[in-house]
A and B are shown apart, each in its own frame.
Chain A
Amino acid sequence: MNRESIGVIICSCSGRNLGKQEIDSITQRLSFAESGIRNMIIETALCGEDTLKSLRNEVEKKGISSLIIAGCGAARISGVTEKIADALSFAPSSILGVPLFYSEGAESEKNKLGINEARVDKAVRGISRGMNVLTSQEPLEIEEIPVVQRALVIGGGAAGIYTADALNRFGHETVLVEKKDSLSDYGIDEKKLKDLEGVIIHTGSSLVSLEGSKGNFSACVKTPGGLEEYQAGAVVIASGAPVPADPKKYLQNRFGSSSAVPLFSLATAYSGLPRIPSLRRIGILLDLDRDEGRASTQMALHAAQEIQKPNAAEVFLFLRDARVGSLHLEELYDAVRDMGVTIVKYSGEAKISSLETGLQVTVQDDGLGVLTDYTCDLLGISPFGCAAEEDDPLSEITGVHLDDYGQFQDNNIQLMPVETNIPGIFTAGGGRGEVYSPKVKQEALAAAGEVHFLLKNKTLHLERSEAQVDPDKCILCLTCIRCCPHGAMHVNREDGVAECSTAACQRCGICAGECPAKAISLPVWTDEIVLNQL
């Protein structure tokens, strides 16, 4: 960029951050320097509305296209930069900050002339170096990426259905992919949702590949009728909790007994048992491989209510803790206890062994304080407590990370509730770890809201500030591809170089930090720009 187009603003924050003498000293030193500053603007309250208006006029008049701002480095300046960029229609990267923190200019540091020399020094150095950096830089282009006006929802359970329904109501074209032969009805409270009129639904189908990035994904879906290709602006993964694919078979194999059944079919299994004169003992087990949540406790309590019958069946509910963190679960818990259901709270792990008939559950019973054996004719085990059999292939296909329990979405608060490490891909419900129906519904709607934001801008305006790979230095070691958390790097085999997608790149610089050949740099975070702050 040429010097004429660079503006330097020094803001005194109403004289509180920089005194008049200090500003005079700075301008004096800069005019003698080789910095060649053509446009110097002194402000007292840069972030004020009126100031921005007059600044805009001045910027237009003088043909300024980039700025160096020396002023308060307080937290607000991060918002101020955006505000200014917005007001002037600048890309944020055309604004270089020289932060002068308030407390660096403590009164006691000022000399007799009312000048804090070190501070003035820092300002002058920062501005001069800033000039060097900006003059050696080319302005960044803005790329316009059209956002494909279609959403892809993977999973036809409660989460997927609520998301697709909400997107449909927003008026977005939505494709719903479900691997089973029909959509689920568990956890849906409005029957009409099942119609999802207008949503393209593929059952018995699965996603086999996903390319591209936010705003422009290319998906390939395997359907009973063949492969379907879809372009989509955003994707929502609502694939459900990572439970064993066939819980009944899994439990039978694992415990070598047909008396171990999935909890959701316990009532049916019980009613299939022949009547006997003595009391049947029916067990319900939660928290088998991992601690479960409210949905499991609710399911267990409902099953207990259904089965517990005086003189016919007594129910033993084994759990580590009753997860009752929802307004009416405590009342349900009390009611179940009042019915005579025995609730055994245990510590550590439950051991289950098969007997000639039935099963034996051995637990460290916290109520009795000892390891206790319980025999059960039938044991209903919650599938949500079973460890996932294998990683969901969707993770490999989409690049979305799994957490320690095979659930989509890293266990990272910055992503919650519904984001993932891949920009443009969202997740909700059991797939990410929340199975409790009221919360699943809320997450699904929140995910639909996020997708709506993405799709309602028909075009993404992205500055070409993504990571740049120097083809002369790149050795195609694939480190950057492996370490990019956002899946933004890919290989250009033809040119023998790694390339970065401008839509997916988050400009974090992890690739630049990792590259062993130092072939990667971020245009707005070069070593010069970083060290310029010293």
Chain B
Amino acid sequence: MEKKIALYCCENSAYKAAACLTGPELQKGIEIIKLPCTGKMEINLILKTLEQGYAGVLVAGCPIDNCKYIRGSSRAEKRIEKTRELLKAAGIPEQRVRMEFLSSVDSHKLAGAIKEMKQELEGVMS
């Protein structure tokens, strides 16, 4: 399948920001997956996603101290960091997994992160 980025969004912030993204270069090659909170994000979900052939996993959640469930995005930050370390140790480019923090009204921050990740992936996947 074509290489896409799986965009895991918490439904309170990033999902709403993602829904406002316009422009084909942002929507092309992105699959949006809703989560109740990035605190639910687990390593096995990331690995299953990569297993299914996705080029990268971008986890987008509320800024630290902005999480609707208080601690969710900071827990996710730690888990994503851990996942990156594990990937690196396994010889998989860590740039394939990344976390971004943004509020529901900050679509352009998400757009910037997607652009950046696409560029980075082109560099490591080729």
Query: CA A327 – CA B34 in complex, angstroms?
Result: 45
In the assembled complex, which residues on chain B have CB atoms less than 8 Å from the CB atom of A101? Answer: 19, 27, 32
Q: Which of B22-50 contact A (CB under 8 A)?
A: 22-24, 26-28, 31-37, 39-42, 44-45, 48-49
Within the complex, what minimum Cβ distance (angstroms) separates A526 from chain B? 11
Is B99 in contact with chain A by the CB < 8 A criterion? Answer: no
Q: Of B40, B66, B68, B71, which one neighbours A522 at CB under 8 angstroms?
A: B40
In the assembled complex, which residues on chain B have CB atoms less than 8 Å from the CB atom of A106? Answer: 24, 27-28
Is A483 in contact with chain B by the CB < 8 A criterion? Answer: yes
Q: Of B21, B45, B69, which one neighbours A530 at CB under 8 angstroms?
A: B45
- What 1/0 mask marks residues of chain A from 494 to 534 whose CB sits below 8 Å from any chain B CB? 00000000000011111011100010001001010011011
- Asked if A531 and B69 make an inter-chain contact with CB atoms under 8 angstroms apart, the answer reads no
Query: CA A414 – CA B33 in complex, angstroms?
Result: 23
Is B98 in contact with chain A by the CB < 8 A criterion? Answer: no
- Asked if B23 and A534 make an inter-chain contact with CB atoms under 8 angstroms apart, the answer reads no
Is B114 in contact with chain A by the CB < 8 A criterion? Answer: no
- Asked if A510 and B66 make an inter-chain contact with CB atoms under 8 angstroms apart, the answer reads no
Is A330 in contact with chain B by the CB < 8 A criterion? Answer: no
- Asked if A514 and B75 make an inter-chain contact with CB atoms under 8 angstroms apart, the answer reads yes
- Asked if B21 and A510 make an inter-chain contact with CB atoms under 8 angstroms apart, the answer reads no
- Asked if A103 and B21 make an inter-chain contact with CB atoms under 8 angstroms apart, the answer reads yes
Contact residues of A: prevailing secondary structure: loop
- What 1/0 mask marks residues of chain A from 87 to 110 whose CB sits below 8 Å from any chain B CB? 000000000010101011010100
Interface residue total, chain A, C-beta cutoff 8 A: 38
Within the complex, what minimum Cβ distance (angstroms) separates B105 from chain A? 11
- Asked if A410 and B70 make an inter-chain contact with CB atoms under 8 angstroms apart, the answer reads yes
In the assembled complex, which residues on chain A have CB atoms less than 8 Å from the CB atom of B66? Answer: 412-414
Is A320 in contact with chain B by the CB < 8 A criterion? Answer: no
In the assembled complex, which residues on chain B have CB atoms less than 8 Å from the CB atom of A508? Answer: 36-37, 39-40, 68-69, 72
Name the residue of chain B whose CB is nearest to the CB of A412.
Answer: B65
Q: Of B22, B44, B62, B69, which one neighbours A510 at CB under 8 angstroms?
A: B69
Within the complex, what minimum Cβ distance (angstroms) separates A19 from chain B? 18
- Asked if B69 and A533 make an inter-chain contact with CB atoms under 8 angstroms apart, the answer reads no
- Given contacts A106-B27, A410-B65, A534-B6, whether A525 and B36 have CB atoms under 8 Å apart is yes
Is B121 in contact with chain A by the CB < 8 A criterion? Answer: no
Within the complex, what minimum Cβ distance (angstroms) separates B36 from chain A? 5
Query: CA A512 – CA B43 in complex, angstroms?
Result: 12
Is A370 in contact with chain B by the CB < 8 A criterion? Answer: no
Within the complex, what minimum Cβ distance (angstroms) separates B34 from chain A? 6
- Asked if B67 and A414 make an inter-chain contact with CB atoms under 8 angstroms apart, the answer reads yes
Query: CA A410 – CA B71 in complex, angstroms?
Result: 10
- Asked if B11 and A78 make an inter-chain contact with CB atoms under 8 angstroms apart, the answer reads yes
Query: CA A126 – CA B69 in complex, angstroms?
Result: 28
- Given contacts A412-B65, A412-B66, whether A512 and B48 have CB atoms under 8 Å apart is no
Is B109 in contact with chain A by the CB < 8 A criterion? Answer: no
- Asked if A74 and B40 make an inter-chain contact with CB atoms under 8 angstroms apart, the answer reads no
Within the complex, what minimum Cβ distance (angstroms) separates A436 from chain B? 23
- Given contacts A101-B19, A483-B75, whether A522 and B36 have CB atoms under 8 Å apart is yes
Is A486 in contact with chain B by the CB < 8 A criterion? Answer: yes
Query: CA A73 – CA B16 in complex, angstroms?
Result: 10
- Asked if B23 and A103 make an inter-chain contact with CB atoms under 8 angstroms apart, the answer reads yes
- Asked if A530 and B35 make an inter-chain contact with CB atoms under 8 angstroms apart, the answer reads yes
Query: CA A534 – CA B54 in complex, angstroms?
Result: 10
- Asked if B48 and A513 make an inter-chain contact with CB atoms under 8 angstroms apart, the answer reads no
- Asked if B41 and A513 make an inter-chain contact with CB atoms under 8 angstroms apart, the answer reads yes
Is A401 in contact with chain B by the CB < 8 A criterion? Answer: yes
Query: CA A177 – CA B20 in complex, angstroms?
Result: 48
In the assembled complex, which residues on chain A have CB atoms less than 8 Å from the CB atom of B76? Answer: 513
Within the complex, what minimum Cβ distance (angstroms) separates B63 from chain A? 10
Query: CA A49 – CA B89 in complex, angstroms?
Result: 55
In the assembled complex, which residues on chain A have CB atoms less than 8 Å from the CB atom of B44? Answer: 518, 527
- Asked if B75 and A513 make an inter-chain contact with CB atoms under 8 angstroms apart, the answer reads yes
- Asked if A534 and B65 make an inter-chain contact with CB atoms under 8 angstroms apart, the answer reads no
- What 1/0 mask marks residues of chain B from 64 to 84 whose CB sits below 8 Å from any chain A CB? 011111111001100100000
Within the complex, what minimum Cβ distance (angstroms) separates B52 from chain A? 6
Query: CA A518 – CA B20 in complex, angstroms?
Result: 34
- Asked if A509 and B75 make an inter-chain contact with CB atoms under 8 angstroms apart, the answer reads no
Q: Of B22, B26, B31, B75, which one neighbours A533 at CB under 8 angstroms?
A: B31
Pairs A–B under 8 Å by Cβ, sample size 7: A108-B24, A410-B65, A508-B72, A527-B44, A527-B48, A531-B45, A533-B33
Known: A412-B65, A533-B31, A533-B34. 10 other contacts (CB 8 A): A73-B19, A74-B19, A75-B20, A78-B11, A103-B23, A106-B24, A401-B70, A485-B69, A485-B70, A507-B36
The 4 closest A-B pairs by CB, nearest first: A509-B40, A510-B39, A508-B69, A485-B70
